[in-house]
Copies of this chain bind each other. A is one copy, B any other.
Amino acid sequence: MKKISEMESIRECSSNYILAVNDTINVIHGKWKAAIISSLLFGKKRYGELQKEIPKITPRMLSKELRDLEANGMVVRTVHDTIPVTVEYELTQSGYAFQHVLDVMLEWGLEHRKRIIGSTK
C-alpha cells in the first residue's frame, strides 16, 4: 500500500495536502458537474441526451460545464460528421475513477444526514 504512506507524508506538509484536495474540489465545483459526471458513468452520451437527463440545466450551462470538464481531463468530446453532426461525450479514465470519490461523498452525506436528523428530534 504505497498510496497510504504517500498520503501521510503529504499530510505532514498540510499546505500541499490542501492544494491537492482543492485540485479535486475545483474539478467538480459548481452546481452541475457532479450530475454530468454521474450521468456519463452509465456510458457515453450525446449532448441532447445529457440535456434531457439533467433536469433544468440550460444549454449555456451544459456546454460551459462540458468544456470545463474536457479542459480538466475528465471527459472527451467526439464529433461524428454525420448530417446533422452528432457529438458524443465520454468519461476519461480519471472520469470513471471519479466514481469512487462520488460514492464516498454519497456515503458520508447519508451518514451526516442521519446524524443531523437524529440530533434535532
Contacts and interface: CB of A to CB of B under 8 A. Distances in A.
Interface of A: 3, 6-7, 10, 14-15, 17-18, 20-25, 27-29, 31, 34-35, 38-39, 42, 55, 73, 92-94, 97-98, 100-113, 115-116, 119
Nearest to A3: B107
Given A21-B102, A97-B108, A101-B108, 17 more contacts: A7-B103, A15-B55, A18-B34, A20-B106, A20-B110, A21-B106, A23-B109, A24-B105, A24-B112, A25-B28, A25-B105, A27-B112, A73-B112, A73-B119, A97-B112, A100-B104, A100-B108
A21 B110 contact: no
A45 B10 CA distance: 21
Contacts of A29: 29
Contacts of A112: 23-24, 27, 73, 94, 97
Nearest to A98: B108
B7 A106 contact: yes
4 tightest Cβ-Cβ pairs between the two chains A and B: A24-B105, A24-B109, A23-B109, A104-B104
